[in-house]
Structure 1
Amino acid sequence: MAPPSAIDIRGLTDTEALIYPNPLTVNEVTERRAKAGKLIAGVAAGTSSDLFKSKSNGKLAKRFDHLISEESKSRGTSSLKAAAKFLSTPGIISLGGGLPCSEYFPIQDLSMTVPVAPDFSEEGTRKSGVVVTTGKYDTTQGDGTYDLSICLNYGQGTGSAQLLRFVVEHTEMAHSPPYKDWQCALSVGSTMSLEQAYRIFTERGDYILSEEYTFASAVETALPLGCKFIGIKMDSEGLMPTDMDDILSNWDVKARGARKPHLLYTVPTGQNPSGATQSVERRKELYKVCQKHDVFIIEDEPYYFLQMQPYTGADAPPAAPPASNEEFLRLLVPSLLSLDTDGRVMRLDSFSKVIAPGTRTGWVTASAQIVERFIRHNESSAQNPSGLSAITLYKLLDETWGHDGYLQWLRHLRVEYTARRDALLLACEKFLPKDIITWTPPAAGMFLWLEVDLANHPHAATKSVLEIEDEMFLACVEKGVLLSKGSWFLGDKTKEPTQLFLRATFAAATAEKMEQAIERVGVAVRDAFGVKA
């Protein structure tokens, strides 16, 4: 199979889609599992992505030893975790590790009611949802592959084999990484994955590249590690590779007091806070700049599967959603992971935005070298996601929905978030003064980025952008609306903003509440500028 970057591309929606020849399909996963037989993975069982991958593309990933931090290099294998591999030896009696006896786990079974396709609504779940039960000894006293006796005990730094199998298969279907030795490991959500990635790749005093406006927690996580952010200019597609190339090509070590940056943090799809989505051509340009300057990429993609239909406006019918799972996958703008022929991308995935943030479960995908470092870090910190979260997700995703059902769920979310976004945009068109506030309809994610033109603000010449931003923020609060200040998301905290932005989300409020909120914002903005409706 040729690497995706060498494959013909055609535009399908307001983004562009990559057509993979012979992608991994749900049927192929089913056939492979049937051939492999029942998954046997008991307490603290060792596992590897290689056990669950079905295709092998391209060459081995490049080595990035020269970019790995001294801290990460110093992390060795956990003696106790390594010893767990002997637990599978037939007839062995373990007096080694401190694994508690499952007899003393005070939970005998758990049950939950979950929706099934095609009706994912709460009402449909109440009427026809499936009750899923998990017992303590399903693997030894039944035909299960994962139970409470396993999930409630200690595990490995990879996470459970049962849930790892699902995410490896899912990753191959959605991204088909174009090099041989890619791996996955489960994580305790993407924020912790990001902190571990920083520790793998940075030393104190380093700069990290990112969009000019970026996820606030990404910056706040790096600062205590002694790292600063340098922001890259943005447009409607997000990060501008030409500006990144200019920054790196003209990097002055003496003036900056730091070595040339070698780590990029980016949210390519539905970017937080701007809502921007990089096209496939933009992603290719970015990847080439990273190759030119030997930059490693952290691809943080919590909103990747919240890509939406094109916005058609108030006077046109909404665009039709994908008619099948196969079409849904084809319409997704290709990930940086899917273009990564070098193995220079560490992708962070999460169930937070598509299932529930309280699961605190996600996964990373990178080359075997990088995932091995990630696992070493896991072993001496979080160890692995909560066993209760892991088995809940496994029972829902693997045993109940399967890959086909999960893709149907993601299609359902696409429709729901498209409707929410459209409701917010219609309210903006109706109530906001377009000569003062402008926006680009987001193609993915949860956020709308509002740019406020200060040219006609009565105090633009006498007050700073931060002062006007604060006044406008408080004016909206007084009217009963909470927005986010754009300055909260500046990557470089040493610079004052020259533009004023406000971030709104369409993730939670009803269409009626969003309309009411935006009407109030319109009043607050007009009052601030001294103009009438």
Structure 2
Amino acid sequence: MAPPSAIDVEAVTDTTGVTIPDPLSAPIKSNDIFGRRRKADKSQWVIAAPADTVNFRHRSYDHKPKAKRWDHIITHEAQTRKGNSLKKAAKYLGKPGLITLGGGIPSSEFFPFEELSIKVPRVGHFSEAETRESGVVITAGKHDLAEDKSIFDISTAFNYGQGAGSAQLLRYVTEHTELVHNPAYQDWRCTLSIGSTSALDMALRMLSRPGDMIISEEYTFSAAVETAIPLGVRMAGIPMDAQGLLPDAMDQILSTWDVQTKGARKPHLLYTVPTGQNPTGATQSHSRRRAIYAVCQKHDIYIIEDEPYYFLQMQPYTGPNAPDVPPPASHAEFLQSLVPSYLSMDVDGRVMRLDSFSKVLAPGSRIGWVTASQQLIEMYKKHADVSTQCPAGTSQLIVWKLLDEFWGHSGYLDWLIHIRLSYTQRRDAILAACERYLPREVVSWQPPMAGMFHWMKIDFRKHPQYPERSIEEIEESIFLSVIEHGALVMRGSWFYADAQDAHDTLFFRATYAAAPKEKIDEAIHRFSVAVREEFSVNGGAVRNGH
């Protein structure tokens, strides 16, 4: 007989199973995951049930290294946070026959919700029209768990939960993380979050102190800067190119860091959006990520990998009017086409990856998850237990019913391929409009490989009133003129990592995510009219009689 470490259990349902030989020598496939699940006792799914990622993984990680410890950068606040002592009793709630007079958990008898029904698309029929016509209504009842109809129900989801989130949804995101990233070290864990901005706030509280500077792209997510500033933390911008962060520039800045000049100790954190970066749309290649990771190892930098756009990696752009590139032919081909994540190459446990359903399902779900070493995830959960708690139970139940009980991992990957192709069409639409309308002598751009954003550089030196008018004045004038012409694009200066740094570039950010193709075309036309007027440039394509 095989040793215990080589035995797995194939789930027949979530409460029964049969033992099978260890299949871990073969790659995990999306439609194999449910069959590889370990048998789970019903108590695993009860109200506020504690859960640990390690119980939901399918591979053995014993042969991989353990994460480094990060005691030297963990804050006093994080070290002294003990979590919610009352939730420690939750592990006993699943004991059969237990009469609880303990925690302040209300009876579901007083939840005025008997069932929750949502209409969702069938796998492969994802459009709004198809969903309206042939979508399926899936329903969660109040007592589905007790009645053996499901492992997640209203009485459980709508009650209090652990900071890590429900065991049901935590199992799903753990399996998804293992399928997509297969982390390279032993003691990785996941925990649910209420979105990446909240997760970043918690990470900064755990890993930085007032007066610190953290490094990031020179143009970065404005909310990240605005999250850091009240904590007394500033961003130090690193120069970029079309692939994002420049590792040599990062190494040079860190190697020559002067505490007196910078007014802060040498940074120990990197905040980066590696894929479809907000605002520039830049995507770091595999080799670029390897080089940046090596710089982080050299300088002992901890990486916060913020990846809301990871699955918005699009088909290759081959130019205007070029034939379409065939979509991925299989789930394996789709996953292989994705640029490997920092998490997948992290052998030190020096990466905290922030994932989110906001850009691929719905921002209002307020559900994301964090993957990092066990040491940091345990600290994160303690913080969540006394602050955000966990994502709303309503959202967790809806997302779980869709992803786990209805679509499964295979169907979710089909959905991700669907939105990949849809975003490719919109990306191509905005690039075609730029080619058609914008004056190339003034505006330049790089086709984005991923994400939602198109980053357009303006050659401000060609403005007829430069240098009498500053970059800031020219940017303001263009911004207001575009609004007057009936379109809105975002000013690049709103995304400075450090507004105190001198900048000699002028950019505007447009998104192709929020409008249909014909509206994208018209918006770029209106932007073009404003730019041409501002720079006294004539010509260009005419649309709709303009």
1:11 alignment partner in structure 2: none
Given the alignment of the two structures, is residue 215 of structure 1 paired with residue 216 of structure 2, yes or no? no
Q: Which of 235, 242, 245 lines up with 2:248 in the alignment? A: 242
Letter in 1 for 2:531: V
2:406 alignment partner in structure 1: 400
SS at match of 1:491: coil
Unaligned residue ranges in structure 1 (runs of 5+) = 1-19
Q: Which of 358, 363, 366 lines up with 1:352 in the alignment? A: 358
Given the alignment of the two structures, is residue 136 of structure 1 paired with residue 151 of structure 2, yes or no? no
Q: Which of 322, 327, 334 lines up with 1:328 in the alignment? A: 334
The 10-residue stretch of structure 1 (31-40 or 147-156) with the greater mean CA deviation from structure 2: 31-40
* CA apart distance, 1:28: 3.5
Question: What is the CA–CA distance in structure 1 between the aligned matches of 2:208 and 2:517, rounded to whole Å?
Answer: 44
* CA apart distance, 1:24: 2.4
Letter in 1 for 2:53: S
CA contact (8 A) 1:485 1:501 kept: yes
* CA apart distance, 1:21: 9.0
Cα deviations by residue, 1:125-175 (Å, 9 ceiling, x for unpaired): 112111100000000013210000001110001100000000000000110
Q: Which of 408, 425, 429 lines up with 2:431 in the alignment? A: 425
* CA apart distance, 1:27: 3.9
* CA apart distance, 1:496: 4.0
SS at match of 2:461: coil
SS at match of 1:433: coil
Q: Which of 26, 30, 43 lines up with 2:30 in the alignment? A: 26
CA contact (8 A) 1:472 1:524 kept: yes
1:264 alignment partner in structure 2: 270
Question: What is the CA–CA distance in structure 1 between the aligned matches of 2:514 and 2:531, rounded to whole Å?
Answer: 23
Given the alignment of the two structures, is residue 65 of structure 1 paired with residue 76 of structure 2, yes or no? no
* CA apart distance, 1:36: 5.0
Question: What is the CA–CA distance in structure 1 between the aligned matches of 2:41 and 2:316, rounded to whole Å?
Answer: 43
The 10-residue stretch of structure 1 (398-407 or 138-147) with the greater mean CA deviation from structure 2: 138-147
* CA apart distance, 1:511: 1.0
Question: What is the CA–CA distance in structure 2 between the aligned matches of 1:318 and 1:337, rounded to whole Å?
Answer: 31
- Counterpart mapping for 1:85-96 below 5 A: 85-96=91-102
SS at match of 2:260: helix
SS at match of 1:112: strand
Question: What is the CA–CA distance in structure 2 between the aligned matches of 1:409 and 1:319, rounded to whole Å?
Answer: 18
CA contact (8 A) 1:466 1:497 kept: no
The 10-residue stretch of structure 1 (368-377 or 27-36) with the greater mean CA deviation from structure 2: 27-36
- For CA contacts below 8 A with separation 6 or more, give which structure has more relative contact order: 1
- Counterpart mapping for 1:350-499 below 5 A: 350-499=356-505
The 10-residue stretch of structure 1 (252-261 or 348-357) with the greater mean CA deviation from structure 2: 252-261
The 10-residue stretch of structure 1 (75-84 or 231-240) with the greater mean CA deviation from structure 2: 75-84
RMSD of aligned Cα (Å):
1.4
Letter in 1 for 2:190: C
- Relative to 1, partners in 2 of residues 1:304 and 1:430: Cα closer, same or farther, differing over 3 Å? same
Question: What is the CA–CA distance in structure 1 between the aligned matches of 2:487 and 2:31, rounded to whole Å?
Answer: 48
2:129 alignment partner in structure 1: 123
Letter in 2 for 1:239: L
Question: What is the CA–CA distance in structure 1 between the aligned matches of 2:248 and 2:60, rounded to whole Å?
Answer: 33
CA contact (8 A) 2:164 2:390 kept: yes
Q: Please, what TM-score do these two structures have when normalized by structure 1?
A: 0.95
* CA apart distance, 1:84: 1.1
Unaligned residue ranges in structure 2 (runs of 5+) = 1-23, 540-546
Question: What is the CA–CA distance in structure 2 between the aligned matches of 1:22 and 1:416, rounded to whole Å?
Answer: 32
Question: What is the CA–CA distance in structure 1 between the aligned matches of 2:39 and 2:330, rounded to whole Å?
Answer: 27
Letter in 1 for 2:132: R
Letter in 1 for 2:175: E
Question: What is the CA–CA distance in structure 2 between the aligned matches of 1:428 and 1:38, rounded to whole Å?
Answer: 57
The 10-residue stretch of structure 1 (182-191 or 514-523) with the greater mean CA deviation from structure 2: 514-523
Given the alignment of the two structures, is residue 310 of structure 1 paired with residue 321 of structure 2, yes or no? no
SS at match of 1:149: helix
Letter in 2 for 1:374: Y
- Counterpart mapping for 1:144-293 below 5 A: 144-293=150-299
* CA apart distance, 1:313: 2.0
CA contact (8 A) 1:486 1:502 kept: yes
Question: What is the CA–CA distance in structure 1 between the aligned matches of 2:428 and 2:480, rounded to whole Å?
Answer: 26
CA contact (8 A) 1:39 1:145 kept: no
CA contact (8 A) 1:233 1:239 kept: yes
Q: What percentage of aligned pairs have identical amino acids?
A: 56
Q: Paired residues, what number?
A: 514
Question: What is the CA–CA distance in structure 2 between the aligned matches of 1:333 and 1:356, rounded to whole Å?
Answer: 23
Question: What is the CA–CA distance in structure 2 between the aligned matches of 1:56 and 1:231, rounded to whole Å?
Answer: 39
Question: What is the CA–CA distance in structure 2 between the aligned matches of 1:509 and 1:255, rounded to whole Å?
Answer: 45
Question: What is the CA–CA distance in structure 1 between the aligned matches of 2:252 and 2:504, rounded to whole Å?
Answer: 20
CA contact (8 A) 2:192 2:367 kept: yes
Q: Please, what TM-score do these two structures have when normalized by structure 2?
A: 0.92
Question: What is the CA–CA distance in structure 2 between the aligned matches of 1:524 and 1:512, rounded to whole Å?
Answer: 19
2:305 alignment partner in structure 1: 299
* CA apart distance, 1:22: 4.6
CA contact (8 A) 1:39 1:162 kept: no
Question: What is the CA–CA distance in structure 2 between the aligned matches of 1:519 and 1:272, rounded to whole Å?
Answer: 23
Letter in 2 for 1:26: S
CA contact (8 A) 2:30 2:331 kept: no
